[in-house]
Amino acid sequence: MGNSEPVWGIIGGTGLTAIDSLMVDDTLETETVWGAPSAPLRIGRLGGRKVVFLARHGDPHRIPPHRVNYRANIEALRRAGVDRIIAVNAVGSIHPAMTPSSLVLPDQIIDYTWGRAPSFHEENLEHAVHVDFTWPYSESIRDALRAAAAEVGVACHDGGVYACTQGPRLETAAEIRRLEQDGADIVGMTAMPEAVLAREAELDYACLALVVNWAAGRTSEVITMDDIRSNLDAGIGRVLQVLEACLRA
């Protein structure tokens, strides 16, 4: 895009298939060497910033977490000039303080996924590529999101370990106990390989997670889609407030 104005990418997860307040200037149907991204890119302005929005699960929501073409999504955003990404992810909570409908800014990931294409660097290599992933999320975007949340008075847990499971099924109670022993605070299905592909593409990337349920076995109830939906509805407005304040800053 050739100018120095930062371009923010927003990857919307479950419950965030579109952002109504995004003033869309252009809709880009695109294809990458990795295939098509989940949905057309919505290019516009939010909070005064140039934004490219992508619905991770498609628009309408139809692609399950293990079938998302994460490489095409990251490559399409990069090609559209994006240099920093905020990923919005719906998650279950393992940590007692991270109650349903609260927001979390995780700072670590444990990857339990399998069979997903985990890298841009797999074929025709002159040398193997091993990116550093000690700190999987961008500290500067996490700082910006934390400051934005404080500015609009939205509570946000700062830090946490995101356990990324394969899905699409939810976990068993024993699996959640194991994740807790591993040190996980929240559990979702979409952090990986998205975050590492952003790192490989040299894009700053952070996650704003919305808790939509207690993880399996944390209550005596089973997890229903109705409960998930009502926690999504209760929290998504605050996600948008934080996003807009972050881009305004």
H helix runs in the chain, sequence order:
70-79, 139-151, 173-182, 194-200, 225-248
Q: Which is nearer to ligand HPA, 171 or 244 (CB)?
A: 171
Q: Which residues contact 15 (CB under 8 A, 6 or more apart)?
A: 90, 210, 212, 229, 232, 233, 236
Considering only the stretches 126-134, 135-143, 195-203, 210-218, report the one whose residues sit in contact with ligand HPA under the rule CB under 6 A: 210-218
- Interaction between residue 92 and ligand HPA (CB under 6 A): yes
Considering only the stretches 110-118, 132-140, 209-217, 236-244, report the one whose residues sit in contact with ligand HPA under the rule CB under 6 A: 209-217
Question: DSSP secondary structure string, 127-195?
Answer: S------SS-S-HHHHHHHHHHHHHTT--EEE--EEEE---SSPPPHHHHHHHHHHT-SEEES-STTHH
Q: Which two tokens stand for residue 107?
A: 């700072």
User: Closest distance between ligand HPA and the C-beta of residue 55, in Å?
Assistant: 16
Single-letter code of the amino acid located at 104? V
Total binding residues toward ligand HPA, as defined by CB under 6 A: 12
- Interaction between residue 90 and ligand HPA (CB under 6 A): yes
Q: What x/- string results for residues 131 through 170 when contact with ligand HPA is judged by CB under 6 A?
A: ----------------------------------x----x
Which residues of this protein are in contact with ligand HPA, per CB under 6 A? 90-92, 165, 170-171, 187-189, 212-213, 215
